[in-house]
Amino acid sequence: MNAFAQLKNYLDSQVLGQSALTEGILIALLANGHLLVEGPPGLAKTRAVNALAQGVEASFHRIQFTPDLLPADLTGTDIYRPETGQFEFQSGPLFHHLILADEINRAPAKVQSALLEAMAEKQITVGRHSYKLPELFLVMATQNPLEQEGTYPLPEAQLDRFLLHLNVSYPSAETELQILRLTRGEALQQQAVQPPQLSQQDIFAARKAILQLHLAEGLERYIVQLIMATRQAAKYSTSLGRYIAYGASPRATIALERCARAKAWLDNRDFVTPDDIRAVFHNVLRHRLLLSYEAEAEGIKVDKVLDQLLQLVPLT
């Protein structure tokens, strides 16, 4: 069993009943991207990122987004030192390796932009100076779908910066019973599963290995056709043409390929299959399509549109 399989098993032992979430986190880590997680509170989103930080050589910081948050609360700021008569930069929480941006839509646009600039450029700017962020830098942002009053929804152009958009839901009754026993055991300080210790070099080496997996030319064209179908949906279905207002950007093509490679690599294969592409398709495209008012009026959800695209676009 390789180190990443051990890490996956460890995450699943700490975050019960959320296998899709733990796999999504690992795919984002391997594909060098960020993820947006949407789901009700109390579903172990913070615990998942914290468990990841325990299993890899990385520092973790959670940021609770609120309406009064300022960009400097994320990036850091210049502090005046009277003893030297000079300003000294004091770094903010974005200089950690793993960031949990909790309820990102509760902060105003300036704060969201500061975070998304860091995600895209791997650097932050304070005054006239720019500062590089760590090479290993992963942001998991969360949104609460149950309470939208007083929130600042992310614009579609900013949502496109996220590699994946995952939906998490409530666990089954049996899983919830296991959660109850797990938390009780932790409270009693019983022996817990020991996390693996992946170095950052292990992660960087895995990222290079993923890019060397075999991807057939036909599958490359399939990926491109899937993305093109989001922009030219009327060619495949009249109803889809009415439901999609704007399709996905080329960034989605790159994301779909990278995530399919990561999925294949996690499954211990040295080649990508059509099932790998289909397995990550919804998570890659869910936040990149802008549905029309007609779709919203008819109660059409984006996942249903993506289901139809997978059915209509042929693998040639």
pLDDT digits (tens, 9 = 90+) for 190-243: 656 778 888 999 999 999 999 999 999 999 999 999 999 999 998 988 888 899
Is 202 contained in some domain? Answer: no
Per-residue pLDDT averaged across 6-30, rounded? 92
Q: Which domain holds residue 279?
A: 213-312
Same-domain pairing of 170 and 233: no
Looking at the structure, do residues 7 and 76 belong to the same domain, yes or no?
yes
Banded pLDDT at 1 (limits 50, 70, 90)? very low
State yes or no: pLDDT of 27 exceeds 50. Answer: yes
What's residue 267's pLDDT? 93
CB 196 within 8 A of CB 16: no
**88 and 13 co-located in one domain:** yes
User: 197 or 310: which carries more pLDDT confidence?
Assistant: 310
| Stretch among 138-152, 191-205, 263-277 having the lowest mean pLDDT | 138-152
> Which residue has better confidence, 183 or 189?
183
Q: Is the pLDDT of residue 103 over 60?
A: yes
Is 19 in the same domain as 63?
yes
pLDDT at 147: 64
Domain with residue 237: its CATH number is: 1.10.8.80
Asked if 141 and 233 sit in the same domain, the reply is: no
Mean pLDDT score across all residues of the chain: 89
Q: Is 200 a member of any domain?
A: no
Whether 148 maps to a domain, the answer reads yes
**How large is the average pLDDT for residues 20-44?**
91
| Position 271 confidence tier, pLDDT thresholds 50, 70, 90 | very high
Higher pLDDT, 311 or 185: 311
Q: Do 48 and 157 lie in a common domain?
A: yes
Domain contains 124: yes
Q: Are residues 124 and 217 in the same domain?
A: no
Q: Do 176 and 226 belong to one domain?
A: no
* Number of domains making up the chain: 2
Looking at the domain assignment, is residue 207 inside a domain? Answer: no
Q: What is the pLDDT of residue 78?
A: 84
Share of the chain above pLDDT 70, in %: 97
SS3 string, the chain, reads: CCHHHHHHHHHHHHCCCCHHHHHHHHHHHHHCCCEEEECCCCCCHHHHHHHHHHHECCCEEEEECCCCCCCHHHHEEEEEECCCCEEEEEECHHHCCEEEEECHHHCCHHHHHHHHHHHHHCEEEECCEEEECCCCCEEEEEECCCCCCCCCCCCHHHHCCCCEEEECCCCCHHHHHHHHHHHHHHHCCCCCCCCCCECHHHHHHHHHHHHCCECCHHHHHHHHHHHHHHHCHHHCCHHHHHHEEECCCHHHHHHHHHHHHHHHHHCCCCECCHHHHHHHHHHHHCCCCEECHHHHHCCCCHHHHHHHHHHHCCCC
Same domain as 153, residue 220: no
Residues 273 and 127 in one domain: no
Q: What is the pLDDT of residue 265?
A: 95
What global pTM score does this model have? 0.91
**So what's the pLDDT on residue 150?**
62
Q: Is residue 177 domain-shared with residue 217, that is, in the same domain?
A: no
In this structure, is residue 196 part of a structural domain?
A: no
> Does some domain include residue 273?
yes
Decide if 62 is inside a domain: yes
One domain for residues 278 and 171: no
* Selected residue with higher pLDDT from 45 and 244: 244
Query: Is the pLDDT reported for residue 74 higher than 50?
Result: yes
